Chains A and B, each alone.
Chain A
Amino acid sequence: QVQLQESGPGLVKPSQTLSLTCTVSGGSINSDGFYWSWIRQHPGKGLEWIGYIHSSGTTYYSPSLKSRVTISLDTSKNHFSLKLNSVTAADTAVYYCAATIPATGMDFDYWGQGTLVTVSA
């Protein structure tokens, strides 16, 4: 059973870079062809997919965020990371990491518990 846990600062200043890490347990991040995604949820709102990285290292980002997002893998630490630059108050949200097992379709099979990031001076 794959388990995911987000970590990172809960407060980021406007114009700075939001950086989060998702630590994976119960499986290797660079095996099995999994896709590792970041998803966010603005307070009281719906869900927005940010992007994914495949276990091979291939990335794919949401067109609306592509210019500001970088997702990377660290196989030595079995985690993947999100960087979102030039943040504004509109980036305040709960950020989730999630895993996709391609054999059952490109849905999100496993989720982290989520971490709230507030953008404020």
Chain B
Amino acid sequence: DIQLTQSPSTLSASVGDRVTITCRASQSISSWLAWYQQKPGKAPKLLIYQASSLESGVPSRFSGSGSGTEFTLTISSLQPDDFATYYCQQYNTYYTFGQGTKLEVK
């Protein structure tokens, strides 16, 4: 199985901050990685696919980068609506998700 490890597990930040979440894969997954945002009681929402492609309708303050085993999700200037939990997901070998990063208000 391909394991995905996200760091940090919890991130405290303020509106306007630039934040970065890291996702590391236990083996190379090329660029087969997506990022999702999930709010309490809601389904996850796709933000980034193929490591760096922005899903239609997602604000441009979200960006993704990386390939192989290390990936990042960056929010350039946090907005109040961005406080949520973020998951990475690989689809190189079936599908697995990271354990999640909770982005909370500092």
Docked complex Cα distance between A83 and B98 (Å): 25
Q: How many of B's residues come within 8 Å of A, CB to CB?
A: 23
B6 CB, nearest partner CB in chain A, Å: 9
Which residues 49-72 in B have Cβ within 8 Å of A in the complex?
49-50, 53, 55
B97: A residues at CB distance < 8 A: 46-49
Q: Is there contact, CB below 8 Å, between A108 and B50? A: no
Docked complex Cα distance between A49 and B34 (Å): 14
- Size category of the A interface is 10 to 19
A49: B residues at CB distance < 8 A: 94-97
Task: Using CB atoms and an 8 Å cutoff, list the residues of chain A in contact with chain B.
Answer: 37, 46-49, 60, 62-63, 96, 104-109, 111-114
Q: Is there contact, CB below 8 Å, between B43 and A47? A: no
A23 CB, nearest partner CB in chain B, Å: 15
Q: Is there contact, CB below 8 Å, between B87 and A47? A: yes
- Please name 5 pairs of A and B residues whose Cβ atoms are closer than 8 Å in the assembled complex, sorted by A: A49-B97, A105-B34, A108-B44, A108-B89, A111-B43
A95 CB, nearest partner CB in chain B, Å: 11
B1: A residues at CB distance < 8 A: 63
Docked complex Cα distance between A49 and B98 (Å): 12
A112: B residues at CB distance < 8 A: 43
Pick from B55, B87, B91, B99: contact of A106, CB under 8 Å: B91
Docked complex Cα distance between A112 and B98 (Å): 20
Q: Is there contact, CB below 8 Å, between B89 and A113? A: no
B50: A residues at CB distance < 8 A: 104-105, 107
Query: Among the interface residues B45, B89, B99, which one has the most CB atoms of the partner chain A within 10 A?
Result: B89
Q: Is there contact, CB below 8 Å, between B94 and A62? A: yes
